[in-house]
Structure 1
Amino acid sequence: MSETTLDVRDVPPADRHSEIHDAFAALDSGEELVIVNDHEPKPLFYEMQAEVEGFDADGYAVEQRAADEYVARFPKL
């Protein structure tokens, strides 16, 4: 599976979701967007699940690597 990584820790919080949505929209089917964030992106997961066609919620995974580093995988159907 091809993946695109987007580190949003330095992106202003007000701009994060739009940048993530744009990056996800640019993916082809079968690809995955990997987000590096400073907190668990649970609100983003729920937003994607409710609003984004093509988001594979069953394939979502998140891993905490440090106190301020969460890596979340958002696969596209």
Structure 2
Amino acid sequence: MTSTTASSPTVDLRTIAPQQRHSLVFTTFIALPPGAAIELINDHNPLPLRGQFDSGLYGAFQWTALESGPEQWRVEIAKPASSKPVHGVDSCCGSCGG
């Protein structure tokens, strides 16, 4: 379930099928305007998701642990206000033909 507050959307991954979780998080994050954030709630440590963010969006996000188990994990993922479009994600310069 995804809900939105005035400040940021909250994505409760516990209610989402495991095979849909990461794509939902990336879609939600990419749609954020610079300076905004999402809050994730999960039933396990989201380290694999953090690895995907590091490899695909390195430097284009801020990851803050808000709660670290054992029942639930909460993480805030922010898009810095100075964020530029990420090649291949939310823009394309055309040089790769993509």
**TM-score category of the 2 structures, normalised to the smaller one:** 0.7 to 0.9
Which whole-Å CA distance do the structure 2 matches of 1:61 and 1:40 have between them? Answer: 13
Contact 2:66 2:73 in 1 (8 A): yes
Identify the residue that residue 70 of structure 2 maps to in structure 1: 67
Per residue, is there more helix in 1 or in 2?
A: 1
TM-score with structure 2 setting the length:
0.66
Identify the residue that residue 16 of structure 1 maps to in structure 2: 21
Query: C-alpha root-mean-square deviation of aligned residues, in Å?
Result: 1.8
Q: Structure 1's 5 and 27: CA in aligned 2 closer, same or farther, altered over 3 A?
A: same
Q: Which has the higher contact order (CA 8 A, sep 6+)?
A: 1
Which whole-Å CA distance do the structure 2 matches of 1:42 and 1:3 have between them? Answer: 22
Which of 1 and 2 has greater Rg? 2
Which whole-Å CA distance do the structure 1 matches of 2:13 and 2:46 have between them? Answer: 11
Identity over the aligned pairs, expressed in percent?
A: 27
* Pairwise CA distance, 1:11: 0.7
Amino acid in structure 2 at the alignment position of 1:60: W
Name structure 1 gaps, 5 residues minimum: none
TM-score with structure 1 setting the length:
0.82
Per residue, is there more strand in 1 or in 2?
A: 1
Name structure 2 gaps, 5 residues minimum: 1-6, 81-98
Provide the secondary structure at the position in 2 that maps to 1:60.
strand
